[in-house]
Structure 1
Amino acid sequence: MANPVVQIHQGQLKGQVESDFQGTPFFSFMGIPYAQAPTGELRFKSPQAPSTWDGIRDATKQGTPCHALQLLPTPESLTLKAMGSEDCLFLNVYTRKVPNDLKPVMVFIHGGAFIAGSSDRAMYGPEFLMTEDIVLVTVNYRLGALGFLTLDDPSLDVGGNAGLKDQVLALKWVQKNIKEFGGDPNNVTIFGESAGGASVHYLVLSPLTKGLFHKAIIQSASVLCPWARGTNDAEALAKSCGFLETDPSKVLQFLTQLPVEQLLEGQIKLGDWLYPGKKRNVGPTVEAKHAGAFLTEEPDDLIKSGRYNHVPLMFGYTSLEGLFDEGNKLLGFQSNWEEFVPYYFDCDVVERINQQISKFYFGTDKANPDDKNALYTVLTDAIFLRGIHLAVKAHAQSSQRPLYYYRMSLDTSLNTIKNMLNLKVKGVCHGDDLGYLFKSGHPTLEPGSLEQKSVLRFVKMWTNFARTGNPTPIEDSLVDVQWKPVTPNQLNFLDIGTDLVVGVDPDIDRMNFWDEISHGVTERR
């Protein structure tokens, strides 16, 4: 097969021929700019439409990741390194045929706590998903202060959420160009994990995304998780970089002209954390009302009222998300594992509720970080599961379309993060699901092995959902259950383990405990 050339609105692209893990060929087009480089005066601003080019652009190499602390997977571990460029708004497209009958499109948003990550193939290789006849798109977006700086003065045009607005422009690019790669612009599924999952949830809620996608998969996240919000204090960032002026226009001018390496250093000095008791410095915000705002209302109000994009939804989590605490130091996160009460709880009740939490999980009034099983479980619930559980319950009441819920308990050599961190504890770590959707590193998939069967099963259910809005439309030897959507009165779910097992109300005793301690408490996100 010859290397393909496609014509998109910006110009011509030359891709290359590759093979999925079973040896079937597909085409890849990488490093495609979907926006202008957000440099100079465009730093911190909403993304601008991409430029055109003459001739044929080489799309056989990946684009540069966005400048940030990037997690680099190695065969044994994860390492962290400041790298990348501000000229980073690229996406990759993978397809079986160009063009042909239009196929479902899946757009993946990577995780990384809004401060790290990229669409790099070392972590997100397409060789698993491309065994199905879909078109896959993976996207870079701005991170850290570059992606989320916020200034209240509307005349400065830095309202916040630039990284999420990058994702919106990428989806507009898909609508405009994906037919040339054999993709159906009327059947687009967005999916993401961790901060990527929270991004997907934000995209569901934003008025800017109407008509840009038709289904959404939210993995190990929701907008109601405490880490999914930030303060993005421009004045504090400038001060950490040595600038003491407080006038917003002067602060913006200073930060715009600062070398990107120093900007990141200032962001790191401010610190960051995932523990629930403190709102993060960097992350999405509710913007003041202005033209082009991504989100101007509280997410929980939007969910409860039904004022969002009604599409089929899938939410899910891993059985022991909190295992990722062992990787927090890699990202430089500060810890305070003696406080588990979310920052948005009324401060008058924090001490009392924290004692209740410690008693429930550790059996004493004070947490014992040496009790690892209890620690990982409370972190799973406080950081991830409660926010996911609340979102699923609220959407179950307001959504006009089906909503599916899962828990992943599968533990094999493909559990990406757990194996990179060399963790031997029983349970499935935050991020472990990625290893069954994307090729990460050089996994061994022996024919007939649990690993191979699990990859094919994950890919089948995810792509079924992308095609039809139902992850299990037909029972077969690979997917041998009927996964029922949740109802307003019952949280049906699927446990994805060695086998597929349907059930109701996952981990409900722990979630009931959180409902009890939060009853009557004022929550101000």
Structure 2
Amino acid sequence: MSDPICTLEQGQVKGKIEKDMDGNPFLSFMGIPYAKPPLDKLRFKPPQPAEKWQGIYDATKEPNNCYSLQVELTGFVKLKGSEDCLFLNVFTHQLNKSGSENLRPVMVFIHGGAFITGSIARVTFGPEFLMTEDIVLVLMNYRLGALGFLTIEDPSFQVTGNAGLKDQILALKWVQKNIKQFCGDPSNVTLLGQSAGSASVHYLVLSPQTKGLFHRAVMQSGTATCPWARGKNNTEQLARTSRCKQTDTKQVLECLQGVTVQRLIKAQNKNFAMITGPGAQAAFGPTVEVPNPTAVITDEPLKLINSGNYNHVPLMFGYTSEEGILGAWGSRCKVKKKLKDMLPYSFGYDKDSEEARALRQKVFQFYYGKDKPNIGKMEIFAQISSDITFLRGIYQAIKGHVKTAQKPVYLYRVSIETELNAFKRILKYKHKGACHGDDVCYIFKAKYAKYKPSTIEERAIRRHVRLWTNFARTSNPIPNHDDLVKTYWNPATEKNLNFLDIGEELVPGKEPPDMDRIAFWEQICKGINEKYK
């Protein structure tokens, strides 16, 4: 069979034929440009649509990663990638050469990485599992770190922040214009993401810029209300570290656009840690913009949620049972320093203030009891990290949405532990729980997460894929009369936060087991005028 060729708005692309986990064929198109390379004067600015090309574009190889610190499987961290990185991958079963209306649901995935790392590389995001279902799958790269989230508040410079989110929006517009050619239905698009990708999805749900670009949303382990999902304006400090000594804003921007990408990202990483602790704010990430024509959001996420002023589509939120294993592992050698970050930055307290010390003591007493906080109780530290870093923000979002949403809101919790829980295995964490990122390996084929046929791993993959693709197909994750998924899953309500526990079995319930800890944080927050509400 010859290589497939698809005709797009910009020109023709050549793909290749691959096989899914069952050995059945699907069509693969990788590295399709959806935007102009954001180089020189386009650095930091909103993306511009890709230009047309002559001839047939080769879409058979993986695209560049966006330039950033990339974590290798060996544990080493390397600066790698390119600024010319605004590409997407499309996987389908059939091309639309005859104007067919037999169109498939489209699933568009946004990768994670704390907004400063990550990519759509096949080492983590192989499509072989999802392509066992009759869908069209799209994955996108977007700009990271300072390149994606530098902020200059004066809108005349067109760098008001959130360029990385604007990349995602442009990719969704590309989908609307081109996905029919891959037999995808532009009126049936589900947006999904994990970690920072999940928070991105939530920002896009809240944004007026995305109306009509997608019709459902799945958020895996992240919301716009999580502490790490909010960046700040570090332009002046980045300029100084990059040896841009000008004081005039226009000249500072021109200097930052002119320095090498290597110097820029080294300057970024020299002075700005990824995330300093469970409650810390990101150095570079999404921000609330000053009003301007390209602004993603111009008001606080919680205000938008509580007002109901967002895109009303069916929503699915979820998290792993021990998200904070990742944070606990990363903090194991710096526990005393990290204990000072046991309050969300949005509380607005100086870490060394009396108010902060008093609140930290309440936190320690709740989690450790009479014991002294120590690294020997890693499972407790992981639980605190889970709650501050992820669960508190996720539940803020869910509880707000169930009050104002016009469409169903589903909640799940991943507790399954198998050989596919790759992050927990790589970190050599011995205690119970599914780590942040472990759920990815049940919908994407990762090269570092092995499975064998006819095992609990294979059954879990098929079940997870069925739930996700059925939600994309019908807005209800539970298919009718399906031997693989025999359960019910009611949407969450104000009265009952109905949820589904995804363990070795699927167990529905009226209230997740973590609610006592969420109630503690809600009590802590009473009387605190948080910085971002």
TM-score (norm 2): 0.95
Counterpart of 2:208 in structure 1 is: 207
SS in 1 for 2:364: helix
- Residue deviations 1:101-148 (CA, integer Å, cap 9, x gap): 200000000000000000111110000000000000000000000000
- Residue deviations 1:369-423 (CA, integer Å, cap 9, x gap): 3310110000000000110011111000000000100000000011121123233
**RMSD, aligned α-carbons:** 1.8
In structure 2, give the amino acid aligned to 1:113.
Answer: A
Counterpart of 2:132 in structure 1 is: 131
> Structure 1 residues 267, 469: CA separation in 2 closer, same or farther (over 3 Å shift)?
same
Matches within 5 A, 1:343-362: 343-347=345-349, 349-362=355-368
Counterpart of 2:529 in structure 1 is: 522
CA-CA distance at 1:206 after TM superposition:
0.6
- Are the counterparts in 2 of residues 338 and 367 from structure 1 also a CA contact under 8 Å? no
- Are the counterparts in 1 of residues 278 and 327 from structure 2 also a CA contact under 8 Å? no
SS in 2 for 1:344: helix
Counterpart of 1:47 in structure 2 is: 47
SS in 1 for 2:106: strand
CA-CA distance at 1:520 after TM superposition:
1.8
Q: Distance in 1 between matches of 2:234 and 2:371?
A: 35
SS in 2 for 1:212: coil
CA-CA distance at 1:63 after TM superposition:
1.1
Asked whether 1:189 is paired with 2:197, we answer: no
- Are the counterparts in 2 of residues 274 and 335 from structure 1 also a CA contact under 8 Å? no
In structure 2, give the amino acid aligned to 1:516.
Answer: Q
Counterpart of 1:318 in structure 2 is: 320
- Are the counterparts in 2 of residues 406 and 496 from structure 1 also a CA contact under 8 Å? yes
In structure 2, give the amino acid aligned to 1:191.
Answer: L
CA-CA distance at 1:280 after TM superposition:
2.0
- Are the counterparts in 1 of residues 21 and 132 from structure 2 also a CA contact under 8 Å? yes
Matches within 5 A, 1:354-393: 354-364=360-370, 367-393=373-399
> Structure 1 residues 343, 258: CA separation in 2 closer, same or farther (over 3 Å shift)?
same
- Are the counterparts in 1 of residues 123 and 448 from structure 2 also a CA contact under 8 Å? no
- Are the counterparts in 2 of residues 228 and 283 from structure 1 also a CA contact under 8 Å? yes
CA-CA distance at 1:362 after TM superposition:
1.5
Matches within 5 A, 1:388-467: 388-441=394-447, 443-467=449-473
Count residues in correspondence.
521
Gaps of 5+ in 1: none
CA-CA distance at 1:54 after TM superposition:
0.9
SS in 2 for 1:317: strand
Counterpart of 2:160 in structure 1 is: 159
> Structure 1 residues 497, 386: CA separation in 2 closer, same or farther (over 3 Å shift)?
same
Counterpart of 2:68 in structure 1 is: 68
Counterpart of 1:34 in structure 2 is: 34
> Structure 1 residues 252, 369: CA separation in 2 closer, same or farther (over 3 Å shift)?
same
CA-CA distance at 1:270 after TM superposition:
1.6
Counterpart of 1:198 in structure 2 is: 199
In structure 2, give the amino acid aligned to 1:83.
Answer: K
> Structure 1 residues 367, 242: CA separation in 2 closer, same or farther (over 3 Å shift)?
farther
CA-CA distance at 1:271 after TM superposition:
2.1
Counterpart of 2:92 in structure 1 is: 95
SS in 2 for 1:27: strand
- Are the counterparts in 2 of residues 416 and 433 from structure 1 also a CA contact under 8 Å? no
- Residue deviations 1:483-519 (CA, integer Å, cap 9, x gap): 1100122100000000000012211111111111111
CA-CA distance at 1:245 after TM superposition:
3.0
CA-CA distance at 1:72 after TM superposition:
2.7
Asked whether 1:85 is paired with 2:82, we answer: yes
- Are the counterparts in 2 of residues 7 and 13 from structure 1 also a CA contact under 8 Å? yes
- Residue deviations 1:453-480 (CA, integer Å, cap 9, x gap): 0000000000000000000032432111
Structure 1 range deviating more: 289-298 or 474-483: 474-483
> Structure 1 residues 333, 187: CA separation in 2 closer, same or farther (over 3 Å shift)?
farther
Counterpart of 1:21 in structure 2 is: 21
Structure 1 range deviating more: 469-478 or 250-259: 469-478
Q: Percent identity?
A: 52
Query: Which of these residues, 292, 299, 306, is aligned with residue 301 of structure 2?
Result: 299
CA-CA distance at 1:352 after TM superposition:
1.8
In structure 2, give the amino acid aligned to 1:115.
Answer: I
Q: Distance in 2 between matches of 1:31 and 1:407?
A: 33
> Structure 1 residues 83, 228: CA separation in 2 closer, same or farther (over 3 Å shift)?
same
TM-score (norm 1): 0.96
> Structure 1 residues 103, 207: CA separation in 2 closer, same or farther (over 3 Å shift)?
same
- Residue deviations 1:131-177 (CA, integer Å, cap 9, x gap): 00000000000000000000012221100000000000000000000
Structure 1 range deviating more: 318-327 or 20-29: 318-327
Gaps of 5+ in 2: none
Query: Which of these residues, 261, 274, 277, is aligned with residue 275 of structure 1?
Result: 277
- Residue deviations 1:229-283 (CA, integer Å, cap 9, x gap): 0113111101122333332212111111010000001101122215244422111
Q: Distance in 2 between matches of 1:5 and 1:283?
A: 37
Structure 1 range deviating more: 27-36 or 275-284: 275-284
In structure 1, give the amino acid aligned to 2:242.
Answer: C
Matches within 5 A, 1:213-224: 213-224=214-225
> Structure 1 residues 363, 326: CA separation in 2 closer, same or farther (over 3 Å shift)?
closer
Q: Distance in 2 between matches of 1:151 and 1:364?
A: 48
Counterpart of 2:8 in structure 1 is: 8
SS in 1 for 2:48: coil
Q: Distance in 1 between matches of 2:330 and 2:444?
A: 23
Q: Distance in 1 between matches of 2:468 and 2:339?
A: 35
> Structure 1 residues 302, 366: CA separation in 2 closer, same or farther (over 3 Å shift)?
farther
CA-CA distance at 1:340 after TM superposition:
1.0
SS in 2 for 1:352: helix
Q: Distance in 1 between matches of 2:22 and 2:484?
A: 17
Q: Distance in 1 between matches of 2:108 and 2:72?
A: 22
Q: Distance in 1 between matches of 2:448 and 2:515?
A: 37
